[in-house]
Amino acid sequence: MSYKIPGFRHPNLPKNELGYTTKDYEGAVSTLCAGCGHDSISAAIIEACFEMSIQPHRVAKLSGIGCSSKTPTYFLGNSHGFNSVHGRMPSVATGANMANRNMLYVGISGDGDTASIGMGQFVHAVRRNVNMVYICENNGVYGLTKGQDSATTDIGSKSKKGEPNALEPINLCAIALQLGATFVANSFSGDKSQLVPIIKAAIAHQGFSFINVISPCVTFNNVVSSTKSYDYIRQHMASTNSVDYVPPASEITTEYEPGTTERVTMHDGSVISLHKLDPNLDIHSRRSALEMIYEYSAQDKVLTGVLFIDPDADEIHKTMNTTTTPLRNLTEKELCPGAAALETINELHR
Amino acid sequence: MKRDIITNEFVVKFANVNGTGSASANKLFSRSVFRMGVPISPKNIFPSNIQGLPTWYEVRINEKGFLARRGGIDVMIGMNPQSMQRDIAEVEKGGYFIYDSTKPLDPGWLRDDIDFIGLPLTEKCREMYEDPRQRQLFRNIMYVGALVALFGMEIDVVKQLISDQFKGKEQLVAPNVKALETGFGLAQDSYPCPFAFRIARRNNVGNRILMDGNEACGLGAVYGGGSVCAWYPITPSTSVIDNFSRYCRKFRIDSETGAKNFAVVQAEDELAAIGMVIGASWNGARAFTATSGPGLSLMQEFLGLAYFAEIPTVLIDVQRAGPSTGMPTRTQQSDIITAAYASHGDTKHICLYPSTPRECFEFTATAFDLAERFQTPVLVMSDLDLGMNDNMSDPFEWDDARTYDRGKVFNRDDLENMQERFGRYLDIDGDGVPYRTYPGTHPTKGSFFTRGTSKDEYAIYTEAGEKYIGNMERLLRKWDTASEYVPKPTHCTTDKPCTVGVIYYGTSEAATREALYHLNNLHGISLDCLGIKAFPFTREVQDFIDSHEYVFVVEQNRDAQMRSLLINEFDYNPDQLVPLLHFDGSPITARFIRHEIRDWILQTTTTPRRRRK
């Protein structure tokens, strides 16, 4: 691995609508282990944001503690980042979102963060439908503390130095669905062609977008006995759909056989085009999504793709009816009732 | 019993069953006294329970304006059979016990050094009302009517308050007035009115107001520009948020669109509440939370992050009796050390100690300025006594020319014109306070990574020892700067030569001031005193202690926490600071302080409430 990002880039790097190249979306050099799934996810985020021409400084990256939570340093270097405390990213992101509803919030978390110490916060951010992209980089193992099983480790799965796990795993996509998440997807860090459009769709979605990304830990959990190794996922991965993200006012060019493609129009006018690989999934039905997850799981398959979208649900600001001006931009004029009103209040207490 | 007439200087206590609507009747009584120009200080003494357990309401009436709990009861209105025996026992010699004579009193409870006045309240209610709920509610108004007769109060004042109270629900005025008059008549029929304790009109209230500290804090957060509030329900802080929300609905909703210029999020727990506050503050909003001891314990980890990553955070701690769940509805000043040094590692937080509703209002509004100026947590340390009881207070004031101090923030133009590299933790001005940027300010400049890990001046992760020390020492420099900005202590010095001082803070103020007045008048002991208003301690606190041979530190906790803080921060010899501690969950009384100081000074005891060595 290298310790310094070389400054040189190909002079003809393509530019997006803002005139930026992918270089403008990169961050510091990763300090994760070579081959870590998390780095592929960072690369997918960079690609998605570049292709969607998102202004990097209008993004806030938030995370908790753990290997996954280090990654916001490694993408979108012109965005503010916040590496908070273990498992508490959802509350910090909720607060940040309250202060300014007009930015894009990307929360990066791991399975320790999301399924254990921060489960309560995850659950409630989902319930509130906070407008954010929540990516759980799920490797089924505690990396920074060197290899303990996590709450998403499958029964019988065995990490490099562990015993076979005896406890029931937490399926984060299923939980998100049950809690009312308005966008739920499952993906794999090794499948960039699927992950990038899913991230784009999640960004386009107004509300809580949950993406569980299976992201193998090369150091502690990439062994034959593990169900979260590269080999295992490649052999057991099934896709319910392939996803195309079509920006607003763009022509849809990909053609599939009639009846096999579903188009979901998002709030910003973009279209998520889902080419169904399994006709049984109804993308607008939580029940259908849950059934599919368990059905595939029973066949030892890991179901990936966009599992559920509700593009019409109200995100938290809409529910609360907060002003369209970011709250942080309000001044004394809007916030302070002034001396005369205070005297009236005094009078009511005499 | 031969009696002297005592006017406007006594203590009345109501013994009720909680959940029976007695609170509003009792409040009607105390407000009527207040409207007659006589200073009052009511205290709710209630259980951690919703319905059926004993609850008390103690009102000190004092035309001289002494507002602490005095200690002792002169007139008891005993409406709760459950607590009646001890309620009778609590009445001071020469006092009265007023009770519902529908059921005869247990003869074994009678005392001959007080007078008993029986009123057939329940009987009368049965006669007048069909609905059981009405019987219960109007019985409360009836005893208020009886007190009006017994104390010789102006009944028109009470009637006016009733009609003020039911503005918009006028149909309720007449039945309440009728119950009031019925009670008035019952008292006249049962006992010669007025009796020996009298309430007579005075002009001693002036323009002062009657408000509880939680409403004052909630209002202070509105005036101080708090726009994001995240909280988790906990007694006794909940009404801070209730009041913030209520005043926001009144003042912060756009009349055309109905859109809200505020956000209140009820979090899933205190950890999330403080996390949301930190997230919102990081993103440039003025955000706050309110909690009590158990919540403060849960917020520790995040407070350390806010300290180390330097994020403004406003927290109102309405203290209650600990440790653990403790006595949730009883008061204490026992979060002093937890608040001052919250979280692991080396941390210190700005704390403000309000004594009155006016200070609750001002300190809460100021807390936002301090938090943003110093990019750090600011804790407003109220308590249950101040927060949940009506306190007489100077009216609140606001200068319309006042602007919010948003602290050191680089905006887009600053960044655009900046030639050098932006350093989030660079001490440019030498005062320890760096410049921050809000997310989303500039396309290519001013972004940084906020982290709870050690970092250099440019917010880059580092474990280099000298960088770590440089940062930690800059935080101390910032702390020293803050000591020049926090509210100054209040002084009250005697004109006589004096080698002994008294330090108090928060709700120990009124009782301490009164005790000192009586020590001077009754015992010829005159002492200097100083009320601490903030941590970091200002220069004046040190000067005060240095200029006295020894100093009493009055506080409402077992372990003398403020004294420990003073010793720890200033390296004082512990012998120089004498702890004076009250911690049974009730508000500290003037009598207690007076006796302790008198006994110590006259050397009848050598260890007043001293911790065992």
Partner residue opposite A337 with nearest CB, options B223, B284, B399 = B223
How confident is the model at residue B89, as a pLDDT? 97
Q: Which residues fall within 8 angstroms of residue B134, CB to CB, at 6 or more apart?
A: B125
- Give me the residue from A85, A94, A331 closest to B276, CB to CB: A94
> pLDDT, tens digit, for every residue of B496-552?
888 999 999 999 999 999 999 999 999 999 999 999 999 999 999 999 999 999 999
Q: What is the CATH number of domain B490-601?
A: 3.40.50.920
Please say if the pLDDT value at position A7 is more than 90. no
Of A81, A123, A349, the CB nearest to B449: A81
Which A-chain residues 166-185 have CB contacts (< 8 A) with chain B?
none
Using the predicted structure, report yes or no on whether residue B613 has a pLDDT greater than 70: no
pTM of the model: 0.96
Residues B206-260 have pLDDT tens digits of 999 999 999 999 999 999 999 999 999 999 999 999 999 999 999 999 999 999 9
Task: List A residues 29-88 in contact with B (Cβ-Cβ < 8 A).
Answer: 55-58, 60, 62, 72-73, 77-85, 88
Cβ neighbours of A82 in B, within 8 Å:
279, 282, 449-451
The CATH classification number of B6-198 equals 3.40.920.10
Q: CB distance from A261 to chain B under 8 Å?
A: no
Top-confidence residue, B71 or B200 = B200
Residue B603 has pLDDT above 80, yes or no: no
Distance from CA of A301 to the nearest CA of B (A): 35
Find the closest chain B residue to A321 by CA distance: B259
Could you tell me which residue, B267 or B1, shows the higher pLDDT? B267
Question: Quick one: average pLDDT of A326-331?
Answer: 98
Query: Residues of B with CB below 8 A from A328's CB?
Result: 227, 280, 283-285, 438
Is the pLDDT at B392 greater than 80, yes or no? yes
- Substitution target from B256, B283, B402 for chain A, most A beta carbons within 10 A: B283
User: Nearest chain B Cα to A59, which residue?
Assistant: B440
Q: Report the pLDDT averaged over residues A262-273.
A: 89
pLDDT in tens, B12-54: 999 999 888 899 999 999 999 999 999 999 999 988 888 889 9
Tell me what pLDDT residue A5 has. Answer: 67
User: Nearest Cα to A264, choosing from A197, A317, A187, A318?
Assistant: A197
Which residues of A, range 104-123, sit inside 8 Å of B by Cβ?
120-121, 123
Q: Which chain A residues touch B400 with a CB distance below 8 Å?
A: 338-339
On chain A, the residues whose CB falls within 8 A of the CB of B438 are 80, 328
A54/chain B closest Cα distance in angstroms: 11
Q: How near does any CA of chain A get to the CA of B585, in Å? A: 27
Place of tokens 């006045």: B117
Instruction: Please report, for residues B74, B88, B92, B110, the alpha-carbon distance to residue B115 in angstroms, rounded to integers and kept in the order given.
Output: 11, 10, 11, 9
Beta carbons of B63 and B8 less than 8 angstroms apart: yes
- Kindly indicate the confidence band of residue A262, based on its pLDDT and cuts at 50, 70 and 90: confident
Answer whether residue B561 shows pLDDT above 90: yes
Q: How far off is chain B from A101, nearest CA to CA, in Å?
A: 10
Listed residue (A107, A38, A26) closest to A68, CA to CA: A38
Distance from CA of A208 to the nearest CA of B (A): 16
Q: Mean pLDDT for chain B?
A: 95
Task: Count chain A–chain B contacts defined by CB atoms under 8 A.
Answer: 226
Q: Domain locations in chain B?
A: 6-198, 211-393, 408-486, 490-601
Give the list of residues 6+ apart from residue A82 with CB closer than 8 angstroms, or none. Answer: A60, A61, A62, A63, A72, A92, A96, B279, B282, B449, B450, B451
| Cβ neighbours of B222 in A, within 8 Å | 335-337
- Nearest C-alpha in A relative to B304: A85
Residue pair A190/A41 in contact (Cβ under 8 Å)? The answer is no
Span B352-356, average pLDDT:
98
Delineate the domains of chain A, giving CATH numbers in brackets.
Answer: 22-329 (3.40.50.970)
Residue written as token pair 């508490």: A88
Say if the Cβ atoms of A57 and B443 lie within 8 Å. yes
A144 touches chain B (CB under 8 A): no
Classified by CATH at the fold level, domain B211-393 comes out as Rossmann fold (3.40.50)
Which residues of chain B lie closer than 8 angstroms to A345, CB-CB? 219, 396
Q: Percent of chain B scored above 90 by pLDDT?
A: 92
Q: Which of A78, A93, A94 sits opposite B443 (nearest CB)?
A: A78
Q: Do B396 and A83 touch (CB under 8 A)?
A: no
Return the pLDDT at B495: 83
Question: What size, in residues, is chain A?
Answer: 350
Check residue A255 and give its pLDDT.
65
Beta bridge partners of B266: B231
Residue B612 clears pLDDT 80, i.e. is over it: no
Q: Give the C-alpha separation, A267 to B348, whole Å.
A: 46
| Pick from B227, B254, B403: CB nearest A327 | B227
Closest residue, chain A, to B365 (C-alpha): A336
Residue B450 has pLDDT above 80, yes or no: yes
Contacts of B229 (CB under 8 A, 6+ apart): B221, B241, B244, B245, B262, B263, B264, B265, B287, B288, B289
Indicate the residue of B398, B451, B461 with minimum beta-carbon distance to A339.
B398
Per-residue pLDDT, A3 = 61
CA nearest to A103 within chain B: B440
Do residue A84 and residue B437 have CB atoms under 8 angstroms apart?
no
Q: Which residue of A has its CA nearest to B402?
A: A332
Contacts of A105 in chain B (CB under 8 A): none
Contact B252 A334 (CB under 8 A): yes
B404/A332 Cβ within 8 A: yes
- Which residues in chain B have their CB less than 8 angstroms from residue A327's CB? 227-228, 261-263, 280, 285
Interface test with A, best of B217, B269, B301, B447 (most A CBs within 10 A): B447
Pair A238, A304: CB distance under 8 Å = yes
The complex's ipTM works out to 0.96
Cis peptide preceding B194, ω within 30 of 0: yes
Average pLDDT, integer, range B467-489: 98
Tokens representing B529?
């005193």
pLDDT of B606? 53
Residue B225 has its nearest CB partner, among A56, A332, A346, at A332
Tokens representing B167? 């503005």
Q: How far apart are the first and last CA of chain B?
A: 49
Mean pLDDT across the stretch A141-165?
91
Residue in chain B closest to A345 (alpha carbons) equals B396
> A103 to chain B: which residues are within 8 Å by CB?
283, 439-440
**Residue A142: in which H helix or E strand, if any?**
strand A141-142
Report CB contact under 8 Å: B287, A57: no
- More confident position, B199 or A4: B199
Is B451 close to A83, i.e. CB distance below 8 A?
Answer: yes
For residue A297, how many other CB atoms are within 10 A of its CB?
16
The answer to whether the B6-198 and B211-393 domains have the same CATH topology is no
Band (B126; pLDDT cuts 50, 70, 90): very high
Supply the pLDDT for residue B611: 41
Q: Where are the beta strands (DSSP E) in B253-408?
A: 263-266, 287-291, 313-319, 350-352, 377-383, 390-393
Lowest mean pLDDT among B154-158, B315-319, B421-425, B604-608: B604-608
Q: Which of A46-50, A266-270, B265-269 has the lowest mean pLDDT?
A: A266-270
d(CA A187, CA B474): 45
Do residue A320 and residue B35 have CB atoms under 8 angstroms apart? Answer: no
Residue B57's beta-bridge partner residues? B14, B44
Kindly report the nearest CA distance between residue A46 and chain B, in angstroms.
16
Distance (Å, whole) CA B303 – CA B301:
5
- Check CB contact of A292 with chain B, cutoff 8 Å: no
A349 and B265 within 8 Å at the Cβ level: the answer is: no
| Interchain pair B271, A124: CB under 8 A | no
